Structure 1
Amino acid sequence: MSTDRFEETLYPGWRQVFAVDRWIHRETTAHQDLAIFESPVFGRVLALDGVIQITEGDEFMYQEMMVHVPIVGHGAARRVLIVGGGDGGCLREALKHPDIEPTLVEIDAGVVEFSKQWMPAIGKAALEDPRARIVIADGVDFMKTSAETFDVIIIDSTDPHGPGEVLFTQDFYTDCHARLSERGVLVTQNGVPFTQGEELTTSWRRLGAAGFADVGFYVVPVPSYVGGFMALGWASKDPANRALSAEEIDRRTAGLDLQTRYWTPGIQGACFALPRYIQDLMR
């Protein structure tokens, strides 16, 4: 690897190359290889096992949509579980809702400490917030053995290979369903459909077989996740959670100061409108 560039190796036939102003840190934990560098376009960038995970420049798009869409959709969420997300970004967004009691389950303590030390602007304050409960554990085991219930579950995972693969299985989605309250919502990271279409189709089938009343996807563009829209999986026990009128969305968000840079009340409903090529993958 050149000292002045980082080449992402996610896709066999396509490479994304980042200019590197400075290498910040690199280490190998018990679970994965972590690297962080400064990019002239994206600021600090975190890569795991050679794949871009988060950048300071565009992380707000992903984090805001992972968190605010299900919380606003539910309308009365209190207990929110985040699986993965050791960088603290999703936790940061959840804490913007004053009534939320968030739990973060992260398998790798090294990711949490690494993020607090080397990417503090993203989630250090959230990871140290007294409202946040941090559990270092395997998310699959936690979901299977916990007796707790949650109104919203957010799966902020890596792609379905390596440590993140188990978070895309039929058994895991079924366990998530069991941990959700009566009107609960599950959201998942589902990759870029243009280049990872099979992943979306597989998730569509598995979520649909897990007992949810409403299964679908919504989209957000994240520039560092190349290939167009990123898809986020949606599975809810109540179809009404996403069938909201503009008036109802405005009512639910009135008085909230979420300080978002991407999410808006208008996007809350519009993000579920899918391009045809993504609809065609839901089969």
Structure 2
Amino acid sequence: MKTININGTLLDFSTPRVMGIVNVTPDSFFSGSRTQGANDIVERCNQIINEGGVMIDVGAQSSSPVARFLEVKEEAERLIPALKLIRKEFPDVIISVDTFYADVAKQAVEEYGANIINDISGGQIDGRMFSVVAQLNVPYILMHMRGTPQTMQELTHYDNFIQDVLYYFSERKAKLDMLGVNDVIIDPGFGFSKTISQNYELMAYLKYFHIFEEPILVGISRKSMIYKLLGITPEESLNGTSVLNSVALLSGADILRVHDVKEAVECVKIIENVKLAHKEICSHILE
């Protein structure tokens, strides 16, 4: 059974978990996810918890290619007040901090009790990230991306797409292992440095990522691989999100990172019942 250590308590993935997104940014690609004031942040966190979310992922920097790139100081000025508020109002919730800066990660964990570091750059933007995460001894979400959010869509050429992505994880996970990072979560990086067709190829090959024997996080919520394919907007992409979340769960995803928690929790419940029924049928056949 896959697990991660959260402050000495093992969180298991015998049933997939849902991570709710809190964006304290004015420029997130999905307007419905932007939370600016204190009341909005508390209300959003309450919604995530009440709808069945187990983790809250807090980010202060948009990963949209058209968003402005924030330096450490500005990101911290956005993120830390929100983090402080969430920890005060929800002392027991599991908080994931979405940052690629080691100093922000360190402050978030040591001063405000963040539990997980979610680094979309896989340690590439800040070379100190891996060593800092090892010192902090918290789970680390390792995502695949090339370049920065502003340049990633110019970097979609691969010699062999799936092999190159798998090699990226094997190489970077080996570095984390050498540093003593015990809890790594694999995020294939849907939407990052990938064309629409590559994103669907990645989904089709998702089961291959189990070779790392680590929890797999899938974040496809309302992304362009859905709304561009269907000719709609992010605001109209909930149905497509639920379809792909279900596909990911059937391929063994352990964490769904989403804007719409209630719908994702329902996907988990339905797919788990399908898997249970399938297991019972196979059991009867073997009798």
Do the structures match in fold with TM over 0.5?
A: no
More helix by share: 2
TM-score, normalised via structure 2 length: 0.35
